[in-house]
Amino acid sequence: MAVDISTFQKQIVVRPLREADYEQVVALQQRCFPGMPTWAREQLASQLAIFPDGQICVEIDGRVVASSSSLIIDFDLYTDRHSWSEVSDRGFISNHDPDGDTLYGIEIMVDPDFRGMKLARRIYEARKELARQRNLMRIVIGGRIPGYLAHKEELSAREYVDRVMDKILFDPVLTVQLANGFVLKRLIADYLASDAESSGYATLLEWTNIDYRPHHKTYQPSRPVRICAVQYQMRSIKDFSEFAAQCEYFVDVASDYKSDFILFPELLTTQLLSFLDTRRPGLAARRLAEYTPQYLNLFSQLAVNYDVNIIAGSHFLMEGEDLYNVAYLFKRNGEIGHQKKLHVTPNERRWWGVKPGDTIEVFETDRGRISIQICYDIEFPELSRIAVHRGAQLIFVPFCTDERHGYLRVRYCSQARCIENQVYVAIAGTVGNLPQVENMDIQYAQSAILTPSDFVFARDAVAAECTPNTESVVIHDVDLEVLNRARRGGTTMNWQDRRTDLYEIIAKPAP
């Protein structure tokens, strides 16, 4: 009698998690951790965007039956009494540090119907292989002790853990972790308050990578990023070549000073209207959009030739019948990214008919993740919070304001974003005048590089600033490592101390 072996075999695959797995992952969490919060879609999306290699799952016959999440950290930056929220940035892992020395596991789970199949072992082995590939010193996990609930009336958490270690008691998590080569280092109270089964406790366990090759330094003492912000004077010009020459001059200056980024102001290309015959503002803006190919070609060549990342202000772009105000990022490796302005001012809507964009971008660069928020956008704190959730540490604000009140709205809000999110913000605006150009006849600006407000940063939280209303540049180094340390040990820790149990900010999918 013939036997169909396909009815007996199972296809087990260990693979990276994908955003399409979200519903299965949440269902798995509900089965493994009943009564505890599940991942929000934004948390999983953030994990996959920031560290996709650290998010893995086990699939059997197309069904996700086990998964794990992790990030890389510099373990020396965290105290012995750290919490799950602190070490995982509440599950968003925006504190992931590719230069760190430790793979930190923030979740592992196996479907109860599939336990006994060594699926946890497969995940731990995948984590160990990742640690070897990345030359990480260790893997650290904050493990649950769900079996403690049945014994908490007669045993302290310490006594319970000791009995599990001595194999007198069995814990479904700790026993498995010990069997997979992890060593108990300490017990942490108040690690995860929502874990009632463990009474909030966690066991800090470590696996040591014996293949680790020590670096010369166990941590990165400094990660400087040099920023050049251009306070650009709007003056009449005869043709595009004059505009190109003026822009190249500033890029050359930034390159000579070995800047990593140069930031130009918003609506930079409206200077071209000084030689175009445009009587109606709406038609003038659409005429500017015709220069998009020349604009893109100019700045992409400058970024590569001068070895500097350029935020080339903003420029009008036509898509079909719609007009957008778009900031472009020209990377020095030749890549181009763009961010549409999301909040359109009444002036832009009335004079030019500008439409708002609907996507919040965070850009990966050779000097970390950045966000671009065009002028009015920085006045809406939700955007910065979402961008920093996604790993941005630098926010660039090209702006164009006609008088002091408008400028101060941009300035004060930029400084507030620095404090709220513990990030750096660079702002760059236009000065001068274009008397013959409607809605661009006068300008007011004081470009600056701004910091959080604490002892390790500049006095008044201003790293550097230009003289108001004078064409100039400001160049300054900001240190991303100082920023990281301030987030974990500053006088106040605004980013860590958010009350996400009371409120949260969620970016909706683009329509």
What's the topology of domain 11-208? Answer: Aminopeptidase (3.40.630)
- Tokens matching residue 312: 């080339």
Task: Quote the pLDDT of residue 279.
Answer: 64
Give pLDDT tens digits for 456-475.
898 899 999 999 999 999 99
Q: Is 375 a catalytic residue?
A: yes
Task: Quote the pLDDT of residue 7.
Answer: 43
pLDDT higher than threshold 90 for residue 440: no
| 11-208 and 224-489 in the same fold | no
Q: Is 341 a catalytic residue?
A: yes
Q: Are strands 138-143 and 202-208 parallel, antiparallel or unpaired?
A: antiparallel
Which residues, at least 6 apart from 263, have a Cβ–Cβ distance to it below 8 Å?
227, 228, 229, 230, 311, 313, 396, 398, 426, 427, 428
pLDDT higher than threshold 70 for residue 1: no
Percent of the chain clearing pLDDT 90 (strictly above): 69
Q: Is the dihedral of CA 279, 285, 286, 291 positive or negative?
A: positive
Give pLDDT tens digits for 293-337.
999 999 999 999 998 999 999 999 999 999 999 999 999 989 999
What DSSP designation does 351 have? Answer: I
CATH class (in words) of the domain with range 224-489: alpha beta
**Mean pLDDT, all residues of the chain:** 90
What DSSP designation does 37 have? Answer: P
Query: What is the residue extent of each domain of the chain?
Result: 11-208, 224-489
Catalytic residue among 86, 266, 361, 379: 266
Task: Quote the pLDDT of residue 216.
Answer: 53
Report, as an integer, the average pLDDT of 494-511. Answer: 83
Give pLDDT tens digits for 192-213.
888 999 999 999 999 999 999 8
Produce one character per residue of 415-434: b if its CB has 16 or more CB atoms within 10 Å, e if not.
bbbbbbbbbbbbbbbbbbbb
pLDDT higher than threshold 90 for residue 493: no
Dist. CA 368–CA 202, nearest whole Å: 32
Decide: 78 and 87 in contact? Cβ < 8 Å.
yes
Amino acid at 77: L
Residue 437 CB: number of other CB atoms within 10 A?
Answer: 19
Report, as an integer, the average pLDDT of 340-360. Answer: 93
**Higher per-residue confidence, 112 vs 278:** 112
Residue 463 CB: number of other CB atoms within 10 A?
Answer: 21
CA distances from 509 to 231, 359, 360, 386 (A): 35, 8, 10, 13
Give pLDDT tens digits for 224-240.
999 999 999 998 899 99
Beta strand segments in 438-511, E:
448-450, 462-465, 472-479
Task: Provide the 3-class DSSP secondary structure of residue 263.
Answer: strand
Dist. CA 82–CA 212, nearest whole Å: 25
Q: Is 266 a catalytic residue?
A: yes
Beta strand segments in 46-121, E:
56-60, 63-73, 102-110
Report, as an integer, the average pLDDT of 161-181. Answer: 93
Dist. CA 459–CA 455, nearest whole Å: 8
Task: Quote the pLDDT of residue 409.
Answer: 97
Give pLDDT tens digits for 3-47.
444 444 457 889 999 999 999 999 999 999 998 999 999 999 999
pLDDT higher than threshold 60 for residue 276: yes
pLDDT higher than threshold 60 for residue 269: yes
- The whole model's pTM is what? 0.68
Task: Quote the pLDDT of residue 278.
Answer: 64
| Rg of the chain over all Cα atoms, to the nearest angstrom | 27
- Weakest mean pLDDT among 332-336, 355-359, 366-370, 436-440: 436-440
Catalytic residue among 128, 331, 340, 341: 341
Catalytic residue among 57, 228, 247, 375: 375
